[in-house]
Chains A and B, each alone.
Chain A
């Protein structure tokens, strides 16, 4: 008899679990997922590669071009690079990167910022990082 309320409640309640592939829960608004770089805004300062705990980002400058590359499956989605990016070019999607069977290296190339001298003209104030020097 003691079990009766539980039995009745279970008879008339929905299942606790979701029927996964059919119903997918939306990610939370601040979920930390796949890392993306808006390469047009990137100034290739290299802050992200220096701060990354898993050292999965490398930034190179060759012949007037900047190369930003990410060892995709070594990224632990901690969000340190996003937090430290001086021009907010990095961001994280809410969803994770789909699983893969091999290494994935994301390589993005972009133009280096044109005038690093421009900053020195400005008086000390907002400091959008130390561009390529």
Chain B
């Protein structure tokens, strides 16, 4: 049978963002997949030489349209480490609350898109209905749905009062009930299982060797999560990574589903640990030195390399996002699949291309 090359993307109904895959197909089976990136490069890293280190917080937030708060958290942590600032306890837990709310809405968004990728429109709408409550929590507490802009160097700039804490807890009860209602559909429904089980298998060894990150890695049985590094409030909140061992699309979906529930729990614990106190530490001086920080984004490990020389402009801000790490595993997963399964598997790594290209 002759080989055919089918272009997949950069514009494709299942892709929220542009990535191009040249699929070499033989008899409806994928033989090879060659990814091409570079459609949404914005040059945000280079802005570091034009905007001072405080203004960069708002810029790194715009690297990703989903987990914006976690990007600025990573950046602020790096600068704080460089300048030797200790973040007040209340600020650390508030950061945990918002970062987990972001993880929750990102996972719900992804689960919806994943359901949509195999044509389960009703599940997609149900999940996004739940997500809207989490978005309201973000908007009600910070003033914006996605780009919350809560982080400043040394802490946070928005506080939660008693009524807001109660509101968050009450809403999370609804959110949890809603998610649990969909549990059997996502995990056991015949349609879902037939499209996802055994599709796009990534073995534990391959995941490790290819440098997969986040739910893609944990779906293959490697218990690695950057929250184990105990940043922000995670030093006082007990945390166990969610792990699945099957390594297929179903397992990756399941990891994210269970992480939603875990995030609800983490938000509750962080809210319980809030004590009155300062919101941000005083910042004096300019960043000097180099530092590498890592945090766990919804999609996996995010790494920031920051270099300053005592000037108000950073010399270098290097951002390595989880999707970048997950593209080699994706290229390894695709060969051998039916062409019709490609959209499901491509979505199963949760591609965030704007993140990757910065």
Given that A16-B129, A78-B149, A83-B157 are contacting pairs, would A52 and B143 also be in contact in the complex, using a CB cutoff of 8 Å?
no
Contact with B along A29-56 (1 / 0, CB 8 A): 0111000000000000000000111110
The B contact surface, by secondary structure, is: helix
Q: Is B139 an interface residue (CB 8 A)?
A: yes
Query: How far, in whole Å, are A28 and B140 apart by their CA atoms in the complex?
Result: 6
Query: In the complex, which residue of chain B has the Cβ closest to the Cβ of A52?
Result: B55
Question: Is B139 within 8 A of A28, CB to CB?
Answer: yes
Query: In the complex, which residue of chain A has the Cβ closest to the Cβ of B50?
Result: A55
User: B36 to chain A: which residues have CB within 8 Å?
Assistant: none
Q: Is A80 an interface residue (CB 8 A)?
A: yes
Q: Is A131 an interface residue (CB 8 A)?
A: no
Question: Is B129 within 8 A of A53, CB to CB?
Answer: no
Query: In the complex, which residue of chain A has the Cβ closest to the Cβ of B51?
Result: A53
Q: Is A77 an interface residue (CB 8 A)?
A: yes
Contact with A along B68-83 (1 / 0, CB 8 A): 0000000000000000
Query: In the complex, which residue of chain A has the Cβ closest to the Cβ of B140?
Result: A28
User: B59 to chain A: which residues have CB within 8 Å?
Assistant: 53
Interface residues in B107-145 by Cβ distance below 8 A to A read 129, 136, 139-144
Query: In the complex, which residue of chain B has the Cβ closest to the Cβ of A83?
Result: B157
Q: Interface size for chain B: under 10, 10 to 19, 20 to 34, or 35 or more residues?
A: 10 to 19
Query: How far, in whole Å, are A16 and B55 apart by their CA atoms in the complex?
Result: 39
Q: Is B57 an interface residue (CB 8 A)?
A: yes
Query: How far, in whole Å, are A30 and B136 apart by their CA atoms in the complex?
Result: 12
Given that A79-B149, A83-B157 are contacting pairs, would A30 and B55 also be in contact in the complex, using a CB cutoff of 8 Å?
no
Q: Is A76 an interface residue (CB 8 A)?
A: yes
User: A32 to chain B: which residues have CB within 8 Å?
Assistant: 143-144, 149
Q: Is B58 an interface residue (CB 8 A)?
A: yes
Interface residues in B12-66 by Cβ distance below 8 A to A read 51, 54-59
Given that A78-B149, A83-B157 are contacting pairs, would A54 and B58 also be in contact in the complex, using a CB cutoff of 8 Å?
yes
User: B139 to chain A: which residues have CB within 8 Å?
Assistant: 28, 31
Question: Shortest CB–CB separation between residue B203 and chain A, in angstroms?
Answer: 37
Question: Shortest CB–CB separation between residue B347 and chain A, in angstroms?
Answer: 25
Query: How far, in whole Å, are A16 and B174 apart by their CA atoms in the complex?
Result: 14
Question: Is A53 within 8 A of B143, CB to CB?
Answer: no
Query: In the complex, which residue of chain A has the Cβ closest to the Cβ of B158?
Result: A30
Q: Which of A76, A77, A83 has the most CB of B within 10 A?
A: A76
Query: In the complex, which residue of chain A has the Cβ closest to the Cβ of B56?
Result: A53
List 27 A-B pairs, Cβ < 8 Å.
A16-B129, A28-B136, A28-B139, A28-B140, A28-B143, A30-B140, A30-B141, A30-B142, A30-B143, A31-B143, A31-B144, A32-B144, A32-B149, A51-B54, A52-B55, A53-B55, A53-B56, A53-B57, A53-B59, A76-B58, A76-B147, A78-B58, A78-B147, A78-B149, A79-B143, A80-B149, A83-B157
19 additional contacts, CB 8 Å, given A78-B147, A79-B143?
A28-B139, A28-B143, A30-B141, A30-B142, A30-B143, A31-B144, A32-B143, A32-B144, A51-B54, A52-B55, A53-B51, A53-B58, A53-B59, A76-B58, A76-B147, A77-B144, A78-B58, A80-B58, A83-B157
